[in-house]
Amino acid sequence: MSALPLRTSAKFLILFTGLFPIIFATGCTTASIPPTATETPAAKTLPSIPNDWIPVARYGRYTLMALTPRAAQHNLLLQTVQVSIPTDKAATVGEALDQVLRHSGYSLCDSSAEVSVLHDLSLPASHRHLGPLLLYDALRTLAGPAWVLEVNNTTRQVCFTRTGAPKP
């Protein structure tokens, strides 16, 4: 009696050892679709990009960074500056202007006799620590209301003229 269940078990064992590799082998295959003759790689074009699309890159799990330049990178006068002039030496407005413009990408234009009046003024104590401010506002603050800020973006030079003074 015990031989009958053993024979049945052996039949199932042989059957399953033969069928399992076939089942697993067919389950892992995928049907590939042959490319059509009308579709060529050169004929593919990029889809049109919507106007409100902003390219982003993912940094970390929850941080998305826009891949566009900031406003201060387009217009350098919009960059944020913070300046501290040491109190141990007598500073002038010209030195403070040089300090503010040091890493901004701009420089002061050649000073004339009229502008040297501004550059030789002593720096007020309230102007020794500026910022954080926009570069444009820091320059106008240092010069004061009697001077007009003129910017030449081609040469990246900053000039000052007196309010109401005739231009040459």
Q: Which tens digits make up the pLDDT trace of 91-112?
A: 899 999 999 999 899 999 987 8
For the record, the structure tokens of 140 come out as 């106008």
- Rounded Cα distance between 16 and 18, Å, is 5
Helix (H) or strand (E) holding 130, with range, is strand 129-134
In a domain, 33, yes or no: no
pTM of the predicted model as reported, rounded to 2 decimal places = 0.62
In a domain, 7, yes or no: no
Which range in 29-38, 69-78, 148-157 is most confidently predicted, on average pLDDT? 148-157
In a domain, 158, yes or no: yes
Secondary structure (3-state) at 64? strand
> To which residue do tokens 């010209």 refer?
94
CATH number for 143: 3.55.50
- Rounded Cα distance between 122 and 159, Å, is 19
pLDDT tier at 88, thresholds 50, 70, 90: confident
In a domain, 42, yes or no: no
In a domain, 94, yes or no: yes
- Rounded Cα distance between 149 and 141, Å, is 10
Q: Which tens digits make up the pLDDT trace of 15-70?
A: 667 666 666 666 555 566 666 655 555 556 767 878 888 788 898 889 988 888 88
Residue 6 has pLDDT above 60, yes or no: no
On whether the CB atoms of residues 94 and 120 are closer than 8 A, the answer is: yes
Q: Report which of 148, 162, 155, 158 is spatially closest to residue 113, judged by C-alpha positions.
A: 162
In a domain, 8, yes or no: no
- The whole-number pLDDT of residue 140 equals 95
**Which residue range(s) make up the domain with 87?**
71-162
Tally of domains in the chain: 1
